[in-house]
Amino acid sequence: VTVRWAFPSIGSFLTLWRSHSRRPRRAGQGQRRGTGTRDAAAGCSGPTTVFSHSSSAFLTSDLVHAFKRARVGTSNEEKQEKMSWNKLFFTVLTTVVGNIAKKGLDLAPEFLTKLRAWWTGKTIAVIGPTAAGKNSLFNRLRKLPIPEKHVQTRGAEKVANFEISWPMPDNTHVKFRCRKSINIGGEIDERERYWLQACQNADVLFYLLDSSKLASSQKTTIARYQDDMRWLVANFRELNPSIAVHILLNKVDITLGSWPHDASATKLLTTQVALIEGHAKEMLGDYFGRVTGITPISMENDFLFGKYFTQALGAVANRRQS
């Protein structure tokens, strides 16, 4: 399927940009680098999905045009922030899938219908190491407020069926329901007891990894990631034969810090994506074909989450349909 991913209309883009959350991250969840404008920078980013091997990798020039148009009426600093953030993801994408042809997304009505049909009624599972953002992802998807009290998840907890609203380029939304999801903890003992239960009925498996921990303690984070990939290989036979695995590299806002991002921040994110892609290939072997992509994301920022998660959904549906 040849697809062309178009950015939402400039009107919705600006609305989202203006209204995106500037909620500060909780103390202890990560340190900001520098002061001030990280959220503003984050809020101006465009969607990017980094595909590990998909022939349908995409990032559209429409996004660039949208940014160019959005610059009207903003200060020079804001313009630079927006372009900087956008360029950064272009760099990451180019580095990882530079040799893969970028195809456009043809969001024809029939294709949207297919996407809607594919996602409707799908069951998702969310797994990942401790404090990778699994709870936050479920809260995001269910449009629940960020709880005042964050709790280490223990045991397996049913997640009420919920509906995901997926914004389309024509300002409409594709809505689909997720059912029978289970929220689980990320500790090793919890993985051994509950992850399989959470994944067994899933059509799509989101694996979350903390980008900021990858930056601060790479050795232990990669060791755990490899261990989880081994767990996946050992349990794939128990899972839905057509299950898709999508890796979400969470907390990239912390990794990159405040704008302006220096060259080292860009390089760091690029390296991280390449690293987790490389280890996934190595550890999953033939099962690597189940991986639909690696998407940088932030659960803390409304705009970033909306855009990038939508891209992840598109990537999964596109990959599974092709």
Partner 1 sequence: MKIGWILPDRRQTGTLSIDWGNRISPLHQEFDLRTIPRAFTLGIPEEVIARTAEKARIFSQVARLDEGGALFAGSIEAGTDDGGRVVVLTLIAQLHNNETLTADCARQIFVPASEKEYGEKLREVLSKDLLSQDSDLSSMLVAVKQFPLLRTFASERLVRTANPPDWMKKKIFGNGHCAG
CB-nearer residue toward partner 1: 148 or 286: 148
- Name which position in 15, 55, 172, 220 contacts partner 1 (CB under 8 A): 220
Shortest spacing between CB 264 and partner 1, in angstroms: 25
Among residues 184, 177, 200, 171, which one has the least CA distance to residue 137?
184
**Residue with structure tokens 């340190």?**
31
Q: Contact, 181 vs 126, CB < 8 A? A: yes
- Name which position in 35, 151, 237, 264 contacts partner 1 (CB under 8 A): 151
Per rule CB under 8 A, is residue 27 in the interface with partner 1? yes
Q: Within its chain, how far is the Cα of 255 from the centroid?
A: 15
Per rule CB under 8 A, is residue 26 in the interface with partner 1? yes
Q: Which of residues 173-192 bind partner 1 (CB under 8 A)?
A: 182-183, 186-190, 192
Per rule CB under 8 A, is residue 131 in the interface with partner 1? yes
Shortest spacing between CB 287 and partner 1, in angstroms: 22
Q: Contact, 25 vs 66, CB < 8 A? A: no
Per rule CB under 8 A, is residue 150 in the interface with partner 1? yes
The set of long-range contacts for 62-68, using a CB threshold of 8 Å and a minimum separation of 24, is 62/5, 62/6, 62/7, 63/7, 65/7, 66/7, 66/10, 66/13
C-alpha 118/C-alpha 99 separation (Å) is: 29
**Residue with structure tokens 């929220």?**
183
Per rule CB under 8 A, is residue 130 in the interface with partner 1? yes
CB-nearer residue toward partner 1: 17 or 194: 194
Q: Which of residues 66-105 bind partner 1 (CB under 8 A)?
A: none
Strand pairing class (173-178; 244-250): unpaired
Per rule CB under 8 A, is residue 309 in the interface with partner 1? no
CB-nearer residue toward partner 1: 62 or 227: 227
Strand pairing class (157-159; 173-178): unpaired
- Name which position in 87, 116, 193, 279 contacts partner 1 (CB under 8 A): 193
Among residues 92, 78, 61, which one has the least CA distance to residue 20?
78
C-alpha 232/C-alpha 128 separation (Å) is: 11
CB-nearer residue toward partner 1: 17 or 207: 207
Per rule CB under 8 A, is residue 154 in the interface with partner 1? yes
**How far, CA to CA in Å, does 24 sit from each of 75, 269, 308?**
23, 22, 20
- Name which position in 11, 28, 109, 145 contacts partner 1 (CB under 8 A): 28
Contact positions vs partner 1 (CB under 8 A): 26-29, 129-131, 147, 149-158, 182-183, 186-190, 192-194, 197, 220, 224
